[in-house]
Structure 1
């Protein structure tokens, strides 16, 4: 059984919907999943200025906040965030910045990694946000598993090979095609995490051939 951690940030709920779908997909292939949210950094006055933001924050108050230990525990991880000027949200970025100790100790390497994102319009920075997260995975020595074009359902969801992405539905639920694609991404990450984690111990260390 693979262990998967999904770390996301969502202000009004769309990224959260994708996170839940990815969790369902990973669990469907037998993975144990930790769903974790990045800590909210915005002041109450900003949150309260948008009723949907406050509503979502209150509705998800029982979801645990992510810690670096959640990544060490996992065989694979998926990060989700809305785009902020073509970059990950500050909330998710702060969580990443807190993982320096685990990275330095080699606790984040050799794990399968993927990402999903969204923006307010079709060219709002989804791809650059996903690529920015993959830069983090490179530094950690993780094994990036993109969705690519590995299943026709990904075309129906917009065909983003770097990871599942959405265009903000302005408060509406995400289209089913996006949720199906996110479930697929969760399944794909979990399957590869299982294969790699099961074989790590049998790999020959460098210089020991």
Structure 2
């Protein structure tokens, strides 16, 4: 089985909705096992409640968990054009994985939620690739074979760099069907690549 992890942080549920779509897409590829996990919250509970953060009972991951997977799909909201601090703190704790090259050659992808169309959507996706490349991971985006990302019929998230959604300044917008379809497409895309890479070492051994 090819093992895929969808790892995310979500404040109001937009990224969580995309994470589930990513997982559905990955699971559609035969021979794929998918887990969904979230990174730990760093905001105090009182602040979460006052800001009306969404409840989330998804199991929490640890950095060490990442080594067990063939591919990891990361989801984050945008914070001033970059990944959320919760995700950054989680990755900052993965130095042990970096030191022993535990993630080298694994597939990585990123999806994001942003408050506005010009609020750093693509910047978040692109800048999130940087630490993943330091880990030696192979980046998969959202190819234009997913034609939905070229639609001009409404407010559409996502880019060639990853799937996404636009939540609106007050978070009132929910992922559109196009956004969710893009996430499912990216999940399947990552799973297909990971499966091909997993076959390569076995083929070399047989040869």
Which of 106, 109, 132 is matched with 2:127 structurally? 132
Residue in 1 aligned with 2:9? 9
Structure 2 unaligned regions, length at least 5: none
Question: How do 1:21-60 residues align onto structure 2 when only pairs under 5 Å count?
Answer: 21-30=21-30, 31-51=32-52, 53=53, 56-57=54-55, 60=56
Q: Please tell me whether the aligned partners of residues 158 and 165 of structure 2 are also in contact (alpha carbons under 8 angstroms).
A: no
Deviations 1:64-118 (A, max 9, x none): 1111232111101110000101111011111111111011111111001100011
Change (3 A) 1:112 1:28: same
Query: Is the 8 Å Cα contact of residues 78 and 113 (structure 2) preserved in structure 1?
Result: yes
Cα drift, residue 152 of structure 1: 1.4
* Cα separation, 2, equivalents of 1:38 and 1:83: 15
How far apart, in 1, do the equivalents of 2:44 and 2:180 lie?
A: 30
Q: CA deviation at 1:136?
A: 1.1
- Give the superposed CA RMSD: 1.6
Equivalent residue runs for 1:94-113 within 5 Å: 94-113=89-108
* Map of 1:65 onto structure 2: 60
* Residue 2 of structure 1: how far off its partner (Å): 1.4
Q: Aligned-pair distance for 1:153?
A: 2.6
CA distance in 2, matches of 1:172, 1:119: 11
Take 1:20 and 1:105, find their aligned partners in 2: how far apart are those partners? Answer: 31
1-structure distance, mates of 2:138, 2:203: 17
1 CA distance for matches of 2:14 and 2:67?
27
SS of the counterpart of 1:12? coil
TM-score (norm 2): 0.90
Q: Is the 8 A contact 1:34 1:70 kept in 2?
A: no
Residue aligning to 2:185: 184
SS at match of 2:184: helix
4+ aligned runs moved over 4 Å, structure 1: 201-204
Paired positions, count: 198
**Cα offset, 1:49, TM superposition:** 1.3
168-177 or 23-32, which deviates more: 168-177
Aligned to 1:165: 164
Contact 2:166 2:173 in 1 (8 A): no
Distance in 1, matches of 2:172 and 2:157, equals 19
- CA displacement, residues 128-168 of structure 1 (integer Å, 9 cap, x when unaligned): 11111111121111111111312213323456110012111
Equivalent position SS for 1:79: strand
Of the candidates 149, 157, 165, which is equivalent to residue 154 of structure 1?
Answer: 149
CA–CA separation in structure 2 for the residues paired with 1:76 and 1:36: 13
Does the aligned pair in 1 maintain the 2:158–2:179 contact within 8 Å?
A: no
